[in-house]
Structure 1
């Protein structure tokens, strides 16, 4: 079974495991990540093995500072502007790889680009002390709900990893926003912890949406973030055998008879809803229900990212390819 150590006592053991080509589950501001040395093929392979993640799905490489990022990737002016504004934080930039950057090819799944992020807190400190970037997808079984607490990581991956670093519940609760510069603009590949509107306000232009053919970045599989139960979206009624995930003060008809009920945000606050999303989905899934009905959530702000995660959770489970 895995060992859970608080942030204050975990640095030494985490560095020892990473230096030996092993993996460590770590807290970030978004969700918990399953980290391995991005330059070590054995460590990266252990990430894929522990998660059961398909090898065609690339990983995000996490850096401690801009100097490390510059050694790995080539920054265009627009991406640099975003990095200076939002790093450290929940933003991932997809950039051309710098030749000879030392990143193991498994991290990028054979792409000529790489996804980079600079995390806050323990993750950033760990990378700085290691002196090398960390590949770190979410610390959960592939395709399942992302973990926002150390206990959720241990319940899912505890038999497959040696250490979970406990930094408490993650404050953002959603994975990072992923963007890619194209020509003179930016394309949103995955909505996340930074609302698209914040990025658009900074660059003074709208983001284009969606990917092209194939997987360009993590989090683009059509079926992802899924509980064991089926997920039914935009529910205005709920059956007595269904659990209900609510939002705001207006209730779906029949909500009193739901098998279980949790409200993402009574006040209708998308930021609060984002921080609760994965933990509440896991709790409703544990109720034993076969279906989780989800009340409508507005698209504005972080609502875009919340609805993205919910639509992937509701997608057919045999659909492993991104939407075309």
Structure 2
């Protein structure tokens, strides 16, 4: 594996023999209580055995993450998820529609020993998903249990979408690290709560509101269930430089995240010159990091349409800006 992301062997078929050896080492590291850098289709995760409080505590220490923020348990398939969480017909319908993929379902915990209290932030619910990346699924299948894997950045920083960025953030804390190439989605998973009452959207993501509502009908807002989702801190995904959103143009000494046609410039990073929201989502965190490395006075971000994937992009940008535009 290479820090430059080359020759990763990422595909949808059989893994190469050297990749199989990496998967086996990663599974063994998890079983021994170690941390693993894990590629997913959304962002790189910092993985640990979800049932091991000491391993989960090591994630919090490595990230500097507040203990009240719950973690997502990643599993290899729907059958495993349904043994850990109590899925009703709505949850199962969502899982069948969007798994493997970037959707996290919050449901009542059915097997508390499988995802420890620390990983659930003391809640009686569990956040769970089946990731879409073949390497992640291979590790989960080899390990045989749920793995909590929050984004591999230090807490509050932009999530890493390349192996190099992930390794630079928390790689020194890991017993194994898997390079799966650049993340194809580039935004954390959508999170929904399937509890009593209507399905609630806790965090927008790559699976859009319209896609969800096509399966389960109109969504309710988070309200009191927001605490059950990761990524809900007011200041989150933040680079070192201040972030100014909905900017029509950058000021002097600002870097600029453009969207749509915009002239090239020394500190201009165009999320999508064609105005493609999927491209913008995939580029968001890596471009925030790249802009931050220019040591600007601030990072200005062009307006992003608040529709489809734009809802998730704007959610991340508002948090990166501390809700201050």
TM-score for both structures, normalised by structure 2:
0.90
Distance, in Å, in 1 between the alignment partners of 2:36 and 2:111 is 28
Distance, in Å, in 2 between the alignment partners of 1:280 and 1:189 is 25
Conserved 8 A contact 2:108-2:195 = no
Match of 2:146 in 1: 133
Q: Deviations over 1:148-187 (max 9, x none)?
A: 0110011111333233210100000000000012445211
Distance, in Å, in 1 between the alignment partners of 2:114 and 2:170 is 28
Within the candidate set 60, 77, 84, 1:48 is matched to 60
Cα offset, 1:266, TM superposition: 0.6
Look up the SS of the partner of 2:178 in the other structure: strand
Q: Deviations over 1:44-77 (max 9, x none)?
A: 1111111111111110001111221121110111
Equivalenced residue count is 310
Match of 2:194 in 1: 181
Conserved 8 A contact 1:146-1:225 = yes
Cα offset, 1:12, TM superposition: 2.3
Within the candidate set 245, 268, 288, 1:261 is matched to 268
After superposition, the CA RMSD in angstroms is: 2.0
| Inter-CA distance 100–179: structure 2 relative to 1 (3 Å threshold) | closer
Conserved 8 A contact 1:241-1:259 = no
Match of 1:291 in 2: 298
Match of 2:289 in 1: 282
Cα offset, 1:104, TM superposition: 1.2
Distance, in Å, in 2 between the alignment partners of 1:139 and 1:100 is 25
Within the candidate set 185, 206, 212, 1:172 is matched to 185
Distance, in Å, in 1 between the alignment partners of 2:205 and 2:117 is 25
Distance, in Å, in 2 between the alignment partners of 1:289 and 1:297 is 21
TM-score for both structures, normalised by structure 1:
0.91
Distance, in Å, in 2 between the alignment partners of 1:31 and 1:228 is 20
Please show how residues 1-324 of structure 1 align to structure 2 within 5 Å. 6=8, 8=19, 9-120=21-132, 121-203=134-216, 205-212=217-224, 215-249=227-261, 251=262, 260-315=267-322
Conserved 8 A contact 2:202-2:226 = no
Instruction: Give the stretch that moved more between structures: 63-72 or 261-270.
Output: 63-72
By percentage of residues, which structure has more strand?
1
Cα offset, 1:211, TM superposition: 3.4
Match of 1:322 in 2: none
